[in-house]
Every structure is written in structure tokens, then in C-alpha cells.
Amino acid sequence: MQGAVETPAGAIAPTQVPGPATHLVRRIARKSAAYVALTKPRVIELLLVTTAPVMVLAAHGIPNLWLVLATLIGGTMSASSANAFNCYIDRDIDRVMQRTQNRPLVTGALKDGEALAFSWTSGLVSIAWLWLFTTPLAAILSAAAIAFYVLIYTLILKRRTPQNIVWGGAAGCMPVLIGWAAVTGSLSWAPAILFGIVFLWTPPHYWPLSMRYKDDYAAVNVPMLAVVKGRTTVGLQVVLYAWATVACSLLLIPIAGMGVLFAVTAVLSGAWFLLESHRLYSTAIRAGEVKPMRVFHASITYLTLVFVAVGLDPLLHLPIPF
């Protein structure tokens, strides 16, 4: 169909009204974007950053590139399933919290049934995919990660205890085990240390975010540490967990035979992470305005640098000279 619009010169020019095909394309694009948002893509990006480098370390060099791609695809589907289940289960509190009011189940971009179907489908496909194209152990670990995040963290821990993110964060550590298992078909002390790094890193990463959105969590009765204990306790716990994270990362040097690149990166990036953590605590015990998001962003950079070093160190073969 054509409409008409008056041009500056007074002439009548035809205008094109979008037809059914254009409307269909736009509807598909909006729906696709909603499904992507349901998976929490920024969370998945961080999970993938910890997967590929571990595969390089496990292979002591460049692993089979198809295996890497297959593992990342399976890991993406697995994390997408867990995050979508989380959005479905938490849709009641997401409608109240300011931080989550743009999620697709809150805005109506997706229906509850669509989200639930996507959650089950992506989860089952991820397990089958990893079983067929990587190793059975990787598939089993993927299933365990989904089950733990949905059943233990989202349904049991999140609304009941301020330690929710400590133990619930174990699900976010599973990609390092999945990456290692995809290459070797087994587990050992090195992936256990890598698991420990992410496990100990999760509280000082997430608790500053909970400080920033303390009122949101209080409004929906989610007992985040910042809600039930206050900023001084959170600041102290961030410092303690940050120290534990950096110490755990250094265990990789003797356990996995890491070299100069990893050692320097772990020490320098760890020192920066610790500095920001101590700065948060120092401000929290005084009357000043805390800036928890500095630690939040620093923690992301820290983990990224450490795991990039995990992947590059085996390729450079620069042993520590002592």
C-alpha cells in the first residue's frame, strides 16, 4: 500500500507502508532479541572466557579447533538453559526489581511458556551435543551445572540465605571442568584449582553488585549479604575472598607447571584486584560514599586477564627460572 506525504515544495510524494513481509521480519527480529536477552549473554561471555583457555592448558598447546568450537557451542546452550530457567523462576521478583525490569518476561516480549520451552530445549540439546561431539564426562558436568544452578541456587538458596551466591556460584565454575573434560575425558588437580579460582572469585565479584542494588534485593526479600549485614561486613568479606582467590590462582604455578607469563599476570592483576577490594572496605568502614562497582568491574578484568594467561602460557613455554 502507498500513502502520501506533502513535500516542502507542496508536491505529493508517495510513501511506502511496510507490508506483511516487513512486519514478519521485524516480529522475528524482536522475538529473537528477546530469546537472546533471556540467556543473559553478558554472563555467558564471561563463562566462555574461562572455557577456551582451560582447553589450551589441558592440551598443552592448541587443541583441535572443532573440539573447541563444539565445546563452546555446547557450553553456550547449557548456560543459556540455566539462565533462562532462572529468569522463568524469578519472574515474580524481576517485575519488582529496577535492575531486571527490562528482562523479556517482565516486558512481555516472551510468554512464560515460551521461556520454559526454550529452557528445556536448550538444556537437553546442550547435553546431547556435548555427549556426541566432545566427551560423556563433559555432557554429565553440563547437566550437573544446569541442575545445580536451577535447583540448588535459584529454588533453594537464593531466597533463603545470605550465603546464596557463595555456594550457588559453584555452577558458574563448571565451564572450567567442562573444558578440561572435553579435551582429556577426565579431571585432575589442575582443573580443581581452576574451579577454586572461579569459586572464590564469585563472592567478591557479585557482592559489590548486590551493594549497588541493595534496595532492590531488600524490596523482594532476597537476603543478599548487603541487605542482612550491611556494607562493612560486605567490604570485609570481599577483601577476604579476594585474597583467597589470588592465593588459589598462584597454586596453579606448582600444580600445573605455569610459567613466567602466568605468574606475572596473576601477581600484577591480583594486586590490582586486592587494591580495589581494600579500597572498598576502607570506604565502607568510614562514612564516605562507597563505589562498589569499581570492584565489580575490576573483578571481571582480573578474571579475564588470569584466564587469558592460562591459555597463552603453555604456548610461550617460558618457565620460571628457579
In this predicted structure, what is the pLDDT of residue 186? 95
Domain boundaries, the chain: 42-55+62-185, 188-322
| Residues 162 and 229 sit within 8 Å (Cβ to Cβ) | yes
Q: Which residues, listed in sequence order, are joined to residue 3 by a DSSP beta bridge?
A: 15
In this predicted structure, what is the pLDDT of residue 242? 98
Q: Which of 190, 192, 233 minimizes the C-alpha distance to 210? A: 233
d(CA 319, CA 119): 45
Confidence grade of residue 114 (pLDDT, cut at 50, 70, 90) = very high
| Residues 76 and 40 sit within 8 Å (Cβ to Cβ) | no
> How much is the pTM?
0.90
Q: For residue 63, give the amino acid letter.
A: P
Letter string b/e over residues 257-286, b meaning 16 or more CB atoms within 10 A of that residue's CB: ebbebbbebbeebbeebbebbbbbbebbee
Confidence grade of residue 16 (pLDDT, cut at 50, 70, 90) = low
Q: CATH number of the domain at 42-55+62-185, out of 3.30.70.141, 3.40.50.300, 1.10.357.140, 3.40.640.10?
A: 1.10.357.140
CA-atom Rg of the chain in angstroms: 23
Q: Any idea which of 27-31, 82-86, 264-268 has the lowest mean pLDDT?
A: 27-31
Neighbouring CB atoms inside 10 A of 3's CB total: 9
Q: Any idea which of 5-14, 207-216, 241-250, 281-290 has the lowest mean pLDDT?
A: 5-14
| Residues 255 and 249 sit within 8 Å (Cβ to Cβ) | no
d(CA 248, CA 33): 38
Convert the pLDDT of each residue in 17-76 to its tens digit.
666 777 778 888 888 999 999 999 888 888 888 999 999 999 999 999 999 999 999 999
Q: Please name the residues in contact with 152: beta carbons below 8 A apart, sequence gap of 6 or more.
A: 167, 168, 171
Residues 224-236, mean pLDDT to the nearest whole number: 92
Q: Does residue 288 surpass a pLDDT of 80?
A: no
Q: Please name the residues in contact with 129: beta carbons below 8 A apart, sequence gap of 6 or more.
A: 70, 73, 74, 77, 139
CATH code of domain 188-322: 1.20.120
